[in-house]
Amino acid sequence: MVLLHVKHGNESQFLFNTTVDVTIETLSQQVTAVYNGRLKVDRICSEIPELADHGITLPPNMQGLTCDQIIDLKLKDEWEDRCIPSGGAEFKKDEIGRRNGHAPNEKMKEVLRKTMEEAKALISTKQVQANVCITMDTVKEALDQLRGAVMIVYPMGLPPHDPIRMDFENQEDLTGTQASLQVISEEEAQLWWASKELQRGKKLQDYIGKNEKTKIFVKIQKRGQGAPAREPLVSEEDQKQMMMHYYRRQEELKKLEEADDTYLQSDWSDRQALKRQFQGLTNIKWGPR
């Protein structure tokens, strides 16, 4: 199996297993699906703490309004009575006015938080260091864990406008958000290796040969952004080790230089000492009697 170390920009994303016989089009679709799937898990995980602390999201026409404004406009959240967390709610006002403030109790909060950490660990970039590959099955497992935890806490489900539910149902609207800049559609996705774009219509073996036991660095980005920056010849970790070695070597040279100075100033290293002794010029003191 060919091991791909997928990066976006200079940041490692995940490891992915494939074969040299795969077409670039299929490989691009697979890598893009995992890349976007990890972003989806991250988005949901970023919303889980807010759900745990402040309850479900208010309808769009009520978000950001004060209580007085809601009363004056005679607005009502129809989902407030339907989406009650298991074990009852604890009120904690959302200062930014995005969620209704009816938070789950501490036990249910812990269910959400623990599941969030487990899901994040599945798709973490630390899996690269652990040499663990990520597939769509991994992403689906993380999403299923999060979906199960939300269903435990909210058996009646979340409102259709809640971003967590929208992500689960692939109905998310990322227009105008920072997250929209990170997502790469399959049509726009490009894979690069060794400053070469992997062209659709070819196979991976057309670029790296037929050796299955190969590891390569692949960068994913949107079409039209040009060639990504080359990988550094020396990795960041190797560079740190080289700097540490250089520093230690400098310290050793300083100590040796100090030792040389001490040697030159010692009496036994004086080449003229024997001559002065024969001439009676040793132990001469200058000064008044």
pLDDT digits (tens, 9 = 90+) for 128-142: 999 999 999 999 999
Q: What would the two tokens of residue 228 be?
A: 């990504």
Question: Residue range 248-271: average pLDDT?
Answer: 71
What SS3 class is residue 166? helix
Question: Residue range 164-188: average pLDDT?
Answer: 90
Q: CB-based burial of residue 14 (10 Å sphere; 0-12 exposed, 13-18 middle, 19+ buried)?
A: buried
Averaged confidence pLDDT in the chain: 88
Whether 125 is in a domain gets the answer yes
**Residues 209 and 107 both lie in one domain:** yes
Question: Residue range 247-264: average pLDDT?
Answer: 75
**Residues 60 and 146 both lie in one domain:** yes
Length in residues, the chain: 289
**Residues 131 and 242 both lie in one domain:** no
**Residues 94 and 218 both lie in one domain:** yes
Which residues partner with 4 through β-bridges? 16, 216
Say if pTM beats, i.e. exceeds, 0.85.
no
Owning domain of residue 57? 2-222
**Residues 176 and 71 both lie in one domain:** yes
Residue with tokens 């073996």: 205
pLDDT given at position 165: 94
What SS3 class is residue 178? helix
Confidence band, pLDDT 50/70/90 cuts, at residue 252: confident
**Residues 262 and 169 both lie in one domain:** no
**Residues 170 and 242 both lie in one domain:** no
Instruction: Report the domain count for the chain.
Output: 2
**Residues 177 and 240 both lie in one domain:** no
pLDDT given at position 270: 67
**Residues 9 and 147 both lie in one domain:** yes
Q: What angle do CA 127, 129, 135 make, to 5 degrees?
A: 30
**Residues 208 and 242 both lie in one domain:** no
Contacts of 152 (CB under 8 A, 6+ apart): 86, 108, 111
Cα first-last separation, the chain: 94
Confidence band, pLDDT 50/70/90 cuts, at residue 251: confident
Percent of the residues in the chain that have a pLDDT greater than 70, as a whole number: 89
For the stretch 50-69, pLDDT in tens is 999 999 999 988 988 888 88
Confidence band, pLDDT 50/70/90 cuts, at residue 174: confident
**Residues 108 and 147 both lie in one domain:** yes
**Residues 201 and 265 both lie in one domain:** no
